[in-house]
Amino acid sequence: TQAAAVALAVTIGVCGWPSARACGYHDPSGYQVGMLNWAYPDALHVRTAVWMAQRDGLLDPAPSLPAVDPMSPQSRLRQMTQLRETQARLDAVHVALDAAAVGRPLPAFAVVLIGPMLWTRFETVDDGVRMASHIQGPAPDDVVLVTDAPVLASLVEGRITLQSARDHGLARLYGSPGAVERVWAMLDHATQK
């Protein structure tokens, strides 16, 4: 199928470049973002939507940080702190999905946080939902959710709903229509407080 061909091209493209082997918390290369937009049309619109939501107060504003060398110890420490916070939020989504998916198989899906280009994959297994973090990209038939870390933070903390994130273009799902709707429904159920 066309979706499988696109996913394969992304996997080859992302895995084939040394700069793409780590997320942006470790390697702030812009190559991965360009590949993402090629594979998932209009995915970069999420970046603009996040900026506008921060400007308009829907999301917390981006912190203003002093310019530092991205390879400096200060920058590395900040990146590792951000990665740890993001991982804790992804873990919270995992726990909520695991509870929501009891008796309701979930299509496998991958989440990419477009700012740091951090990929995480969720799939139903016999004993619940398995999460694999910090992966190189989606599996060929995965539904793909494109969003960003500030959106994830607001969802987990209950400051916005998934429907609001969708309405404002802060989250986009790619895949077959039926699987996309099932993932939206499960995520909506899991992220409601």
pLDDT by residue, tens only, the chain of 193 residues: 544 444 444 444 444 333 334 555 544 445 567 788 888 999 999 999 999 999 999 999 887 766 667 677 877 788 888 889 999 999 999 999 988 888 788 899 999 999 889 999 999 988 789 999 989 899 999 999 999 999 999 999 999 999 999 999 999 999 999 999 999 999 988 887 5
What is residue 19's DSSP assignment? G
Please say whether the beta carbons of 160 and 151 come within 8 A: yes
* CA contacts within 13 A on the Cβ side of 72: 8
Please say whether the beta carbons of 169 and 160 come within 8 A: no
- Whole-structure pTM value: 0.81
Q: Which of 100, 147, 98 is nearest to 123 (CA)?
A: 98
Q: Which of 63, 9, 70, 60 is nearest to 35 (CA)?
A: 9
Question: What are 134's two structure tokens?
Answer: 């910090």
